[in-house]
Structure 1
Amino acid sequence: MQDTPIQKQWLDAFVSLFSLCKATSDEQIIILTESHSRQINVMLAELALQQLSLPFDITRIETKPASCAPIVRSTGASNVLDGQPHIVETLCKADFIIDLTVEGLMHARQTSDILKSSARIMTISNEHPEILARLPLDPAIKDAVKTAVKACRNASEMHVTSTAGSNLRVVMANTVTVGVWGWTDRPGTLAHWPGGLVVSFPRSSSTNGILVFKPGDINLTFKRYFESEVRFHITDDFVTHIDGDGTDARLMRHYLAGFGDPLAYATSHVGWGLNPHARYEALTMYDKDDLNGTELRALAGNFLFSTGANEFADRHTEGHFDLPMMDCTITLDGTKMVAEGVIC
C-alpha cells in the first residue's frame, strides 16, 4: 500500500473534504494517527492540507492490542487514546481533528469529552482511497440526512419488518439520533467519511422483537455477505438467542461468546442508509485489508442494526457487529421511511 502511487482524484477528494469542513488557517488542526494507520491516507491528508495552505500538527500513537480474545475489526471504538490523558488534553484544545485511527473515534470513551471541548472530529474510514474517492461528497445527501434525523427525533416508535420475518420495535422517545453526511463544519460535532446515514442510539430497555438475517444481508465485522438465515431474538435491547443452522449463525454465536461480556449482546444503534452512490457489491471487489465497510453502512435503503457500544446508554464494549439488512420496511409512527429496501 505504501508503494501505491497517489492518484489525482484521491487527493482532490481529500481537498474537497477539508474544504467542506471549512478548515481555516487560524485553527489548530491535528492529524491523529497510529502506527497501524493506513499510511497512504495519512499522506493524502497531509498533501491536501498543504495544498489548502493550512498549517497542521501530527499526533502519532503506537497501536494498542485489543484487550479481548476475539479478533476486533470495524468497531468504531478505537482504544488508541486509552491511558493517554495528555494527548486527550491536547486534542481537547484543538479546533479540527482529522481522525485517521484504524478503528475510528466514533464510539471511543474519550470522544465525548473531546467534543464537549468544542473540537470537531472528521473521521476518515480506514479504507483504500479509491473507495473514498468513489463516493462523492454530495450536498443532496446532507438534505436527505437532515430530513431523516428530524423524522427520527419527532417519532415515538420505529417499527422494522421484512418478508423474511423481522419484526422489531424501538422506543424512540428520548433517543439520541445523529445524521452523518460525510463532513463536519460545526464545533463539537463528529462526522465520518464515507457518509450518508441516520442512526439512533436507543435508551435502555427500548428495543424488542426479532430480526431475521437472510442470504445477501451483510456482516461488516466479518466483511462477508450472509449465506444462511440467522435469527436474533432481542429483549430489552439484548440479543437473548441466536438461531440458525448454518455457518453464519455458528460464527456469530462463537464470536460474541468469546468476549465474555454481556454488553456485547446489547443494541448499539439502529437506522438506515441514504447514500445513493454506495455500491452493494463493494465487499466482493476489494481485499479485506483494503475495506472497512463504511460504504455498506451508508448503502441507500439498508436497515442498519448494530450491537455493542452505546455511549448514550452508558454501555462500552469491544464486542460489536454492524449488520446492514436488505429489503426491510422501516416505519416511524406508522409512516414509511423505507419500503422493502427502497427509500420513500
Structure 2
Amino acid sequence: MFTASHHAAWRHVLSLSRLREGENVIVLGAQAGRNQYKSIAVQVARELGGEPAYLEVENPNRLPKSAIPALRSADLLIDLSHAHDPLIRQLGQDGVRTLTVLEPPEILERMLPQQSDKARVDSAQKCIKAARKMRVTSAAGTDFEVALGELKGNSQYGFADDPGHWDQWPGAFVTTYSNDGSAQGQVVIDEGDILFPQKEYVRSPIKLLIEDGYIKAIEGGVDAKLLKATLESYNNPEVFAVSHLGWGLSRNCRWDALSYYNKQDVEGQDGRGFYGNFLFSTGPNLSGGGSRRAPLHLDIPLMGCSTFLDGVPMVVDGVVIPEDQRV
C-alpha cells in the first residue's frame, strides 16, 4: 500500500516526463520481478490522462515478438524490469520516451528529481560534446586520459521528457564514451569506492593499468583478485574494455546508501549518481553509438577524483566546479 506522498511523487515524475492526455503508456514488468509499482504506475498515468496498459513478459532481455506491437505503440514506456533487449534502444530511436523505475519507495521519494537537475546535467553534457580530451586524476593514484568525439554521450536526470530519451528515476549524472583504443593510464579504485553490479564497497585499493582502451593488468589485494577473477570468468576480451565515463550530479544521492539496504532490494542509483563522483565503467559501448558488445558491464563510482575536459576542470577532488552544474 503506497502512501499519499509516494502517490504525489509518481504524479510529479510523470508530469516532468510530459505525460499528456491521450498518450499511450506501456508499463513493462517481468514475471520473475517484484513489479511493485505496476498498480501505481497505471493509476497515476490514467489520472494524468494517459491510456495505460500493463505488459508482463517472461524475459525482458529477450522480448517476445508478441510484445513488440504494444511496445512500439507507446509514447511513454515505464520499465519496471530494466529491459536490455535491443528493441528498447530502437524504441528510443523511434521517439519513445522510457522511464525505468527500480529503487524502493523511500529512495524514490528522497531522490525526487526536479527540473533544475536536468538543467545542471544538460550543462555538463554540453561541455562533454564540445571536448576532445578527458583526463582524470586522484590522490589515490588515478591518472588516465581518453580522446572524445567519435561517440555520443548520455545523461540521466530522473525523468523522461524529450522524444527518445531514456532515463531512470532517480539519479542525475552525465557520461560519455571514449574513442576506441584511446584510453591510457591507470585507474585506482580506492577504499570506499563501489563496484556494481556486485554492490560492494572496496576494502583495499585496486589498480587498473589501461592501454589502448583496455584494462591490461589488475593489481592489489583480495579485492583486486576478486575483480580479476570476475572479468576473466567471461573468457571474453571485451569485458576489459573501457566503457562510459562521467561524473555524478545528484544533489540528494547518498554514497553510503548501500550500507543500509539488502543487496537484492536496491539497484544502486545512489552510488552511481552521488555528487562529484567519477563514474568509470567497463564493457559495451552500444549506448554511445558504438558496436562493442560484452557480456558484463561494470559501473565503478570513485570518490575524490578530478575530471578535466580539454584541461578545464569539471570536478576537483570530488567538488563540482562549473557554476551551472553546481548545487
CA distance in 1, matches of 2:4, 2:293: 40
Aligned to 2:136: 160
Equivalent residues, number: 319
How many Å apart are 1:7 and its aligned residue?
A: 2.2
| Structure 2 residue identity aligned to 1:233 | L
Which runs of structure 1 show a deviation greater than 4 angstroms over 4 or more consecutive aligned residues?
A: none
Aligned to 1:109, which of 86, 90, 93?
86
1:118 aligns with 2:95: yes
1:201-229 per-residue CA deviation (whole Å, 9 max, x = no partner) reads 22311222110011011112111111001
CA distance in 2, matches of 1:108, 1:234: 30
1:17 aligns with 2:23: no
| Structure 1 residue identity aligned to 2:131 | A
Identify which range, 48-57 or 130-139, moves more after superposition.
48-57
Partner-residue secondary structure (3-state), 1:112: helix
Aligned to 2:32: 36
TM-score, normalisation: structure 1: 0.88
Partner-residue secondary structure (3-state), 1:88: helix
CA distance in 1, matches of 2:72, 2:169: 21
Aligned to 1:237: 213
Aligned to 2:294: 317
Partner-residue secondary structure (3-state), 1:91: helix
Partner-residue secondary structure (3-state), 1:313: coil
Does the 8 Å contact 2:42/2:53 carry over to 1? no
Aligned to 1:292: 267
1:215 aligns with 2:191: yes
CA distance in 2, matches of 1:166, 1:298: 20
Aligned to 1:48: 44
Identify which range, 322-331 or 107-116, moves more after superposition.
107-116
Does the 8 Å contact 2:42/2:54 carry over to 1? no
CA distance in 1, matches of 2:246, 2:226: 24
How many Å apart are 1:8 and its aligned residue?
A: 2.2
Aligned to 1:333: 310
Return 5+ residue gaps in structure 1 as ranges: 64-77
CA distance in 1, matches of 2:234, 2:315: 34
Does the 8 Å contact 1:306/1:320 carry over to 2? yes
Identity of aligned residues (%): 32
Does the 8 Å contact 1:11/1:47 carry over to 2? no
CA distance in 2, matches of 1:90, 1:236: 43
1:303-332 per-residue CA deviation (whole Å, 9 max, x = no partner) reads 000111210221222312110000000001
Does the 8 Å contact 1:176/1:202 carry over to 2? no
CA distance in 2, matches of 1:180, 1:245: 34
1:252 aligns with 2:227: yes
How many Å apart are 1:54 and its aligned residue?
A: 2.6
1:166-204 per-residue CA deviation (whole Å, 9 max, x = no partner) reads 111011122311221111222122111112100002231
Aligned to 2:236: 261
1:123-138 equivalence runs, <5 A: 123-124=100-101, 126-138=102-114
Partner-residue secondary structure (3-state), 2:209: strand
Return 5+ residue gaps in structure 2 as ranges: 322-327
TM-score, normalisation: structure 2: 0.93
1:66-99 per-residue CA deviation (whole Å, 9 max, x = no partner) reads xxxxxxxxxxxx6242xx2342343223211111
Does the 8 Å contact 2:124/2:174 carry over to 1? yes
1:264-286 per-residue CA deviation (whole Å, 9 max, x = no partner) reads 11122000000111111101111
Does the 8 Å contact 2:186/2:207 carry over to 1? yes
1:96 aligns with 2:96: no
CA distance in 1, matches of 2:133, 2:232: 30
| Structure 1 residue identity aligned to 2:250 | N
1:225 aligns with 2:201: yes
CA distance in 2, matches of 1:51, 1:112: 28
